[in-house]
Structure 1
Amino acid sequence: MSGSKPYIAVGELLQSLIPQKSPFVMVDTLAEYSEKGIVSHFLVEADNILVTENHFSASGLIENMAQTIALHTGYKFYLLKRPSPTGYIGAIKKAEIFQLPKVSDTLVTTVEVVHDIMGVTLVQAKVECNGALIASSEMKTALAQ
């Protein structure tokens, strides 16, 4: 999933695709989408509630990965012209934070769907900043029925 294409969703459209609301939105651009994955971007700003001492927190990185997963589900249902169901994080495995990004850094978060069976999705997520891997995790999510 790469290439220079126009962004798919930003602003109000993007915010309509995820359940989180300001000031707790940790994605700002839907850059790429496929059935098996998604790429989001997020500009870390100084007034973000998860910024401390000029750095975006580890909790913020986990939330960014989780919201990217939610964005994948939200956009999939948007394309189907159906309301997006509520989803929950069922498990976070192998979460690793290698570096905390600074204010003004842009995060590029890639999520790949490993399995999607009966509303339970297993994904691998990675966050890059300035071309370097700064965080990764494996998450399992479940949709409310």
Structure 2
Amino acid sequence: MNLLENEITDYDFLLTLIPQKKPFVMVDKLRFYSDKKIISSLTISEENILTNNGDFSEPGLIENMAQTIALHTGYKYFLAQKPAPTGYIGAIKKAEIFELPRISKELTTSVEIIHDIMGVTLVHAKVVCDGLLIAQSEMKTALAPENA
């Protein structure tokens, strides 16, 4: 069940949901949210610091997936009327990059929560661009000790 009535496109509000700040923000829309899944979007701009020669980089794709996880946690905390916590990538079990998207393309990133216990979240993430799967990974994130 989608716990989000309308997608969130207010960039300033999104910034309150994640610990990252400009210029290191790799999500710009929250499209779907439930307890076990989130879908975000990012339109790649020329100003994005993780672009190289007109392409969004591999680290950019990994960070986009990680920030989508952070967005899930941040929105969950928002719903509970708590400030967004700080978290870290704990491990990347498997990451596959099939294609690097060009500037101006929109990424749609979906994350499915496999486990979420005691501040540690294990997920499967997929990034789609123009209807094609361009990256996927399994990641584990952990909340900073003061938030766990």
TM-score, normalization by structure 1: 0.94
Supply the AA of the counterpart residue of 2:119. G
Could you list the runs of 5+ residues in structure 2 that have no partner in the other structure? none
Give the structure 1 partner of residue 85 of structure 2: 85
Q: Give the match's secondary structure for 1:141.
A: strand
Q: Give the match's secondary structure for 2:24.
A: coil
Give the structure 1 partner of residue 123 of structure 2: 123
Find the aligned partners of 1:70 and 1:39 in 2 and give their Cα distance.
12
Find the aligned partners of 1:120 and 1:129 in 2 and give their Cα distance.
28
Q: Percent same amino acid among aligned pairs? A: 63
Give the structure 2 partner of residue 107 of structure 1: 107
Kindly report structure 1 stretches of 4+ aligned residues shifted beyond 2 Å.
none
Give the structure 1 partner of residue 39 of structure 2: 39
Find the aligned partners of 1:86 and 1:109 in 2 and give their Cα distance.
20
2:58 maps to 1:58:
yes
Aligned length: 143
- For the Cα contact (< 8 Å) 2:16–2:84, is it kept in 1? no
Could you list the runs of 5+ residues in structure 1 that have no partner in the other structure? none
Give the structure 1 partner of residue 19 of structure 2: 19
- For the Cα contact (< 8 Å) 1:10–1:30, is it kept in 2? no
Find the aligned partners of 1:114 and 1:141 in 2 and give their Cα distance.
12
RMSD: 1.4
